Amino acid sequence: MARILVVAEDNLLNTKLRDVLVSAGHKVICVSGVGEARERMAYNTLDLVIQDLQMLASDIEMLDTARLSGREVPRVYLADKEHTDILMRLLRRGVDEYILCPPDTDELLLRVDTILQDARKSELRYLVIGGFSMNPENRTMLLDGMTIELSEMEFSILYKLLLYPDRALTRRQLLGRPPGDDGSSEYRTVDVHISKLRQMLRGCDAFDIRTVHGIGYKAVMKKE
């Protein structure tokens, strides 16, 4: 069961989404304004926010930057053809989790499940792949019993790649920057970190770090 906040001005849409999500076993809070939404986010531990793009652009900005308990709450946007300008602005900023209205029940539940699974994967956990291991609690990495010293950024980049094996991650994602962050010059430092990681992991027979042209990088498990 996930705790989901639905933010939509249309009460009928709120009711429909609530009924669908509750039937799937989720706990749902519905609100119709950004003020109430931010209040709910401040006093409730949430796993997901579903937001209707019919809200004003200023409201979208406010919710898009809202954080809870030091972590950003995943969100899905509901969009229709009348609000393509707002949707395009979000897409240019790297936001790709959206569903066209009226939402299809099966698509909505599938998208929600996928996002929640990804969020759970991002929780800190000990990684072990063959003779390779990473401990996020003390920021240590072992390769065949030998400790390899990594910088904070090197550890973070490698850990994210291994959390999502075979998935291409952009440089922005690897740096942990929010959508719309204009850090293009900083993104190039990712290439330097990747080069160093490849040198350190030359003796690793568990996985490779591969370049995905036009996107970024991914970790590929080696076959035994």
pLDDT of residue 71: 47
Query: Distance between CA 126 and CA 215 in Å, rounded?
Result: 27
Is the model's pLDDT at 178 over the cut of 50? no
Confidence of residue 91 (pLDDT cuts 50, 70, 90): low
Is the model's pLDDT at 197 over the cut of 90? yes
Strand intervals (E) in 65-157: 75-79, 98-100, 127-129, 132-135, 140-143, 146-147
pLDDT of residue 124: 62
203-221: average pLDDT: 92
Confidence of residue 123 (pLDDT cuts 50, 70, 90): low
Q: pLDDT for 135-177, tens place per residue? A: 887 889 999 889 999 998 899 899 989 988 888 888 878 876 5
Domains of the chain: 3-121 (3.40.50.2300), 127-221 (1.10.10.10)
Confidence of residue 93 (pLDDT cuts 50, 70, 90): low
Query: Distance between CA 115 and CA 120 in Å, rounded?
Result: 9
Q: Which two tokens stand for residue 215?
A: 């996107």
Are 141 and 133 within 8 A, CB to CB?
Answer: yes
Query: Distance between CA 194 and CA 206 in Å, rounded?
Result: 17
Q: Is 159 exposed, middle or buried (0-12, 13-18, 19+ CB in 10 A)?
A: buried
Are 145 and 131 within 8 A, CB to CB?
Answer: yes
